[in-house]
Structure 1
Amino acid sequence: MGTTSLFSAWAFQLPNFVLAALMYTLLGRFLLSFFFGPASTNYIWRAFVRMTDPVLRVVAAITPRAVPDVVILAFGVLWLLVARVALFAAFAAAGAMPAPGGAA
C-alpha cells in the first residue's frame, strides 16, 4: 500500500472523522451530564464541556429556548449524525467515495 492510496480519500475521511469525533464527544457529555452538574469542577467534565460548547452554541441557536440543555445535547448528536450521512450521500452522488479497503 503506497502513500498515494493511503491519503487519496482525505477529502472524505478528514471531515467524516471530525464529525464523528464531535458526535461521540457530545454523546459522552450527554451521558456524563447524568453524573455531573453543569458547574462541576471535575477535569474530565470540564474537558468535555470545553470541546463541545461550540457545537452546542450552534444547535442552541436553532432550538427553541424552552428546550432543556440535556435535550439540546441529544439534538447535537442527531444533527452531527445527519451531517455525516449527508457527507456520505454527497460523496456517493458525486462518485467520489473512497474505494473499500483503501484500494486506489
Structure 2
Amino acid sequence: MDQPHFILGHLPFWLVTYSLAVVGWTLFGRFLMQFFVAPDSRLYIWRWFRLLTDWAVRAAALLVPRYVQPQWLPLVAAFWVFTVRMGFGIAMFAAGLAPSVAPTAG
C-alpha cells in the first residue's frame, strides 16, 4: 500500500481544480444574476460574486473581440475557466500527479 493519501497526497491537484470550479460556477451565477441585480447593487452576495470573478471577466475581455457585449463576458470567462480546469486536470493526470480511483498495477 504505497499509494499516497487520496486527498493529502494530491493536494495541489485538488486545490487548483476546486478553486477553478468555484470561480467557474460563480461566473455562471454572476451571468444569471446580472439580469436581476443592478451592476452597482449593494447586495452582499452580488459584491462577493464580483470580488471573486472580476479578474476572470477582465481577462476574458482581453481574449475576446470587442464586439462581444459586456453582459456576455462572465459566460465567456466561465468557458475559459472550465477549459483551463480541464486542461490542468488532463496535464496532472498525464504526469501521474492526479489521484486515481482504481489501484495502479504493480
Where on the TM-score scale, by shorter chain, does this alignment land: which range?
0.7 to 0.9
| 1:90 Cα deviation from its structure 2 partner | 0.4
Which residue is equivalent to 2:45? 44
What RMSD over aligned residues (CA atoms) do the two structures have, in Å? 1.9
Which residue is equivalent to 2:23? 22
| 1:42 Cα deviation from its structure 2 partner | 2.0
- Which amino acid in the other structure matches residue 8 of structure 2? F
Using the size of structure 1 for normalisation, the TM-score is 0.84
The alignment-based identity, stated in percent, is 33
**Is 1:73–2:78 an aligned residue pair?**
no
Using the size of structure 2 for normalisation, the TM-score is 0.83
Structure with the larger helix share? 1
Q: Secondary structure at the match of 1:95?
A: coil
Query: What are the superposed Cα offsets for residues 74-101 of structure 1, whole Å, 9 maximum, x if unpaired?
Result: 1111001101110111012212221328
Question: How many Å separate the matches in 2 of 1:41 and 1:95?
Answer: 45
- Which amino acid in the other structure matches residue 59 of structure 2? V
Residue correspondence of structure 1 range 59-98 to structure 2 within 5 A = 59-98=60-99
Question: How many Å separate the matches in 1 of 2:97 and 2:53?
Answer: 30
User: Which is bigger in relative contact order (C-alpha 8 A, separation at least 6)?
Assistant: 1
- Which amino acid in the other structure matches residue 97 of structure 1? A
Which residue is equivalent to 1:35? 36
Query: What are the superposed Cα offsets for residues 5-54 of structure 1, whole Å, 9 maximum, x if unpaired?
Result: 14001121110011001001111111101101212222221221121111
5+ unaligned residues in a row in structure 1: which ranges?
none
Number of residues of Structure 1 aligned to a counterpart in Structure 2: 100
